[in-house]
Amino acid sequence: MAASDESGSPVFRLIYQSHSRIPKSDRPTVLGEIFSTARSRNKGADITGALLITDHYFAQVLEGPQGTVEELYGRISADPRHERLAVLDSGTVDERAFGKWSMAQVSAAGHADIPLHTANGEIHPAAPSHLTAEQSKVFATMRNAIGADTV
């Protein structure tokens, strides 16, 4: 049986890493634009996920319908603001780990810039102690790939 989300559609997850080409002086502005655009577009496209940023690397998880995720990854791959992209993991999963996040920015330590929602709808600060086991597993994959500190 194929994995599905609340709508009954299959859930595809893709995790990738890349090397940032954004000059340090431009990062606040450029990253702000990236998150604003991603959150707006992803919500309408049924894409959820998180983006981990360090000084030199990105690691991102995207979840949603397979064709939509793959199309988005194709556009992301062509973006000149990063290079040396590598897919870390991809495939169908039982459920979304980031179902309430159109795109969260995650620090190297695992803190997100938007609150976490638990399965029963409670909202918690985005601290590692409130991560689900699946979120922790995905974040560990992302952090390990780009050499970010673990919690």
Q: What is the pLDDT of residue 121?
A: 44
What is the predicted pLDDT for the residue at 11? 94
Q: Is residue 47 part of a domain?
A: yes
Does 77 fall in a domain? Answer: yes
Residue 108 CA to residue 76 CA, distance in Å, equals 21
Residue 5 lies in a domain: no
Say if 109 falls within a structural domain: yes
Is the pTM value of this prediction over 0.85? no
Q: What is the pLDDT of residue 63?
A: 95
Cα gap 143→70, rounded to integer Å: 22
Looking at the domain assignment, is residue 92 inside a domain? yes
Q: Is the dihedral of CA 127, 133, 138, 143 positive or negative?
A: positive
* pLDDT at site 55: 79
In a domain, 142, yes or no: yes
| Model pLDDT, residue 129 | 52
Q: How far is CA 21 from the centre of its chain?
A: 19
Residues in the chain with pLDDT values less than 50:
1-4, 108-128, 150-151
CATH of residue 134's domain is 3.30.70.100
Domain that holds residue 117: 11-146
- Per DSSP, the three-state class of 128 is helix
Nearest to 101 by CA among 139, 71, 66, 129: 139
Give the chain's domain count.
Answer: 1
Q: Say if residues 63 and 10 touch (Cβ distance below 8 Å).
A: no
